Amino acid sequence: MRGAFFLSALIGTDRRTRSPGIRTPGLVFGLCVIGGILSACAGSQPIPTRSVQTGNVEIAVIARDWHTEIGLLTNQVSGPLATVDPTTSGARYLLIGFGDRAYFADHDAGFGTAMAALFPGPSAVQLTTVGALPEDADHTIVRLHLPQEALDRILEFAWNSLDRRDGTTLTRVAAYGDQNVFYAGRQTYDSFYNCNTWTADALRAGGFPFEPSGILFASQVMEQVQRIASLQAPENAVKLTGQ
């Protein structure tokens, strides 16, 4: 019954109708969890208990349903990623996520495309710019604090996740409006390396103490993120909402 519930949710989403940054439940983000349904042995992740870094820069880890992504102020974006559309749109925030390329590139994607994502295939990196973070009941947002150099490493990880044909040229695989763009990714997407695995790897690249393997579910990411946030001392941090 539980599997039927998840799969029924996967086939009813038309991503062309949603506004940038507003994450509707369904196939797009259900792709992140299908592998978890078939791999239920993943279990809970150990929660970090040691001291963690902090800093005067803030990022947001955002979850909706089974999907996670990272949000930050566009004026905090450094390096080559700062020149990539839609980062240059002038919007306030940039959201960075990861997914299955075949689905994102297929305007008529449905159940078959979702099932194909169980198996290794090309990935895509989603860059979305929004005027405000999705502060509503459908989203969970946890803010983490870090030094700029740690954020730079997260951005470098995201940049290195993009497939660059000649070292610099990106391949745009889909766009839904000017502020919601998908680029070809370098990593392989499958049931064991999905959007949540990628989010954990990005945060780990920034120096946060994530466990090295076994992350499939958004809940596993957010459980660790919430624990890290509780270990930080954010009183001197620059708030995303205060910029």
CB-based contact 221:33 (threshold 8 Å): no
The Cα–Cα gap between 195 and 160 comes to 16
CB-based contact 32:117 (threshold 8 Å): no
Beta strands in 53-139 (DSSP E): 57-64, 67-73, 93-100, 121-130
Task: State how far Cα 151 lies from the chain centre.
Answer: 15
The residue type found at 137 is A
Neighbouring CB atoms inside 10 A of 70's CB total 24
**Which pLDDT belongs to residue 103?**
72
Profile the chain (243 residues) by mean pLDDT over runs of 10 residues.
Answer: 30 32 40 43 51 89 94 94 89 94 65 54 94 92 96 97 86 90 93 92 94 83 93 63 49
Sequential DSSP letters for 66-92: TEEEEEEEGGG--GGGGGSTTGGG--S
CB-based contact 208:232 (threshold 8 Å): no
**Which pLDDT belongs to residue 14?**
31
